[in-house]
Amino acid sequence: MPAFGPEQPPDQWKLSPEGQLAAAALGPHLPPAAYLSASTEPKAWQTLSPFGRPHLDRRFGEVVRVGEPYDANFRELRLSYVTGQDHPGWEARTEVVARFDAAIAHHLALAGGAPLVVATHGMVMTLWLTARAGLADPGTFWAELRLPDLVCVDLAIDLAARTITKIAL
């Protein structure tokens, strides 16, 4: 979990001490010699920092949301967004997927065949997995994400062979 509050925008939140401990617990589950990449948001890159210096890329950032309430119905708004409802001031889902796609392609090329590990955010990852890996129930997937959570994705060329696996921590 990040250390958060209404006085600071979510894209500036840092990991709390508990969040740092939870991030460190990811280590045994990460592939050896992985190429590390993360959103430029502190809570994302701090998640991977115990394992090396991640390559930062703003395209892995969370969905841009103008006017999202801090303490009201933000969870309901986010859930409806990942399941297909537009909200004024929120980044278009097609744009989210396109920028995330571009970042994945860029960092896969830089990884040179090494496993790619990306520290990102729940809504952007859910939208991308839905569009590119055929995530069957994006609402449930998003609602069940924990902080942090580790998801392995095999993007086989054959869509039917693609897999998404959550790793129990």
- For the stretch 15-25, pLDDT in tens is 889 989 989 99
Name the CATH superfamily, with its identifier, for domain 30-167. Answer: Phosphoglycerate mutase-like (3.40.50.1240)
Distance (Å, whole) CA 48 – CA 46:
5
Residues above pLDDT 70, as percent of the chain = 88
Tens digit of each residue's pLDDT (9 = 90 or more) over 50-109: 999 999 999 999 999 987 777 778 889 999 999 999 999 999 999 999 999 999 999 999
Average pLDDT taken over every residue of the chain:
87
pLDDT for the residue numbered 162: 60
How far apart, in Å, are the Cα atoms of 9 and each of 13, 23, 82, 127? 7, 21, 21, 22
DSSP 82-126: HTT---TTBPPHHHHHHHHHHHHHHHHHHHTTSPEEEE--HHHHH
Residue 10 pLDDT > 60: yes
For 18, the 3-state DSSP assignment is helix
Confidence of residue 167 (pLDDT cuts 50, 70, 90): low
Confidence of residue 156 (pLDDT cuts 50, 70, 90): low
Distance (Å, whole) CA 18 – CA 163:
30
**Predicted TM-score (pTM) of this structure:** 0.89
The DSSP letter of residue 27 is G
